[in-house]
Homo-oligomer: A and B are copies of this chain.
């Protein structure tokens, strides 16, 4: 029912134009993106839980809280405009005003977002010139340009789009995102901008994006840190003239598609984790409750010891079990089963007897599935992470310089 579009991106969605340009915040790579909806869109979003919040994030959060429809999202990379005080706010508002004036829309119809170095004032003039140079287009290439312009230490742009057949016709959902360092549950430095041409009221778009984020972006971790600038935004511009109404079958189909697209985006972010060499899927099953399952999975995906062992292709199940032991959940370690792929590393009763060479073979692959069965109940979850390599340290030791 969900069909992914080849080369799909945010401009795969009806009524969505985009652009990605170089304005000089970075040394030479594209650093300014604009997403533009021909129609006023209802919008929902989720934002970082870090107490330190960047100016553009607070401004966008405020617009979304006010139930304001929007037409544009301006995103710059290279500078986070975080910890920049009053001037940071003024600068953020200036970029919002430039965008509004240049495209003849209202200031409050412009969401803004920044990512990059913390604590440096934004060069507003460069952004102003950048905005002037923007040529909006509904071509796929324009969506991909935007996806490129929002990157920081990411190694590849991330775009997805799908179409979904509903009872009244077809709608589309498309998005771009960036991640890399500081990725961790509850909205770490990651940005995702998603649009759909379905039509839906504000409360519904908010509810849907919150639920989708919870099942996707909130289940990934690169290094356990969370940032000052993270946000996920969903715009619904109604260009398809197909309405989504809470509760019916079309609603279920739309929700499933949105969650699936968000998972695809979240997984792409993990795959591009700083220094990552492997994609790790961690399923925690037969937990007492969903909260327990999530706590255990979160502890595993955040453990540097587990992640370095995976990097070294070392079947060190003791570290996995120890991570669950640190998660704060109540469980009986003796009842735990741990497997990688189909190979049982540990069976209940601390029964561990496996072929190390087969384990090594499984762990040397690019994709590793870890399953932890707690044998305590019926709840389960799956989280995603990457391994932890020397490259992560190298990238982060010299980020500003």
Which residues of chain A have a CB within 8 Å of any CB of chain B? Answer: 49-53, 80, 82-85, 88, 117-119, 181-182, 223-228, 302-305, 308-309, 311-312, 314, 316-319, 321-327, 329-331, 333-334, 346, 349-352, 388-390, 392-394, 396-401
A117 to B356, CA, bound (A): 15
> Do A225 and B326 touch (CB < 8 A)?
yes
Known: A305-B225, A389-B393. A84 touches B324 (CB 8 A): no
Q: Which secondary structure dominates where chain A touches chain B?
A: loop
Tell me which of A83, A118, A390, A400 has the highest count of chain B C-beta atoms within 10 A of its own C-beta. Answer: A83
Contact B309 A396 (CB under 8 A): yes
| A118:B331 contact, CB within 8 angstroms | no
Instruction: Using A83-B350, A119-B352 as known contacts, say yes or no to A309 and B399 having CB atoms under 8 A apart.
Output: yes
B304 touches A225 (CB 8 A): yes
Question: In the complex, what residues of B have CB within 8 A of residue A352's CB?
Answer: 83, 119
Copies held by the complex:
2
Residues in B with CB closer than 8 Å to A331 are: 51
Q: In whole angstroms, how far apart are the Cα atoms of A392 and B397 in the complex?
A: 13
Residue among A118, A226, A303 with the most chain B CB within 10 A? A118
Tell whether A84 pairs with B326 under 8 Å between CB atoms, given A303-B225, A309-B396. no
Write the nearest CB–CB distance from A394 to chain B, whole angstroms: 6
Q: How far is the CB of A189 from chain B (nearest CB, A)?
A: 9
Whether the Cβ atoms of B333 and A52 lie closer than 8 Å is yes
Closest B residue to A87 using CB positions? B350
Known A118-B322, A309-B396, A326-B225: A333·B51 in contact at CB below 8 Å: yes
- B393 pairs with A52, CB closer than 8 A: no
Q: Which chain B residues lie closer than 8 Å to A118 at the CB level?
A: 316, 318-319, 321-322
Q: Closest CB of chain B to A104's CB: distance in Å?
A: 34
Contacts of A84 on B, CB cut-off 8 Å?
Answer: 350
**Cβ-neighbour of A314 out of B88, B319, B400 (below 8 A):** B400
17 contacts between A and B (CB under 8 A): A51-B325, A52-B333, A83-B333, A118-B319, A119-B346, A224-B224, A224-B303, A225-B323, A225-B326, A308-B393, A309-B397, A309-B400, A311-B393, A312-B399, A316-B400, A390-B394, A392-B393
Chain B min CB distance to A279 (Å): 17
The docked-state distance in angstroms from the alpha carbon of A333 to that of B303 is 28
Knowing A225-B303, A317-B119, A349-B85 are in contact, say whether A393-B401 is a contact too (CB < 8 A): no
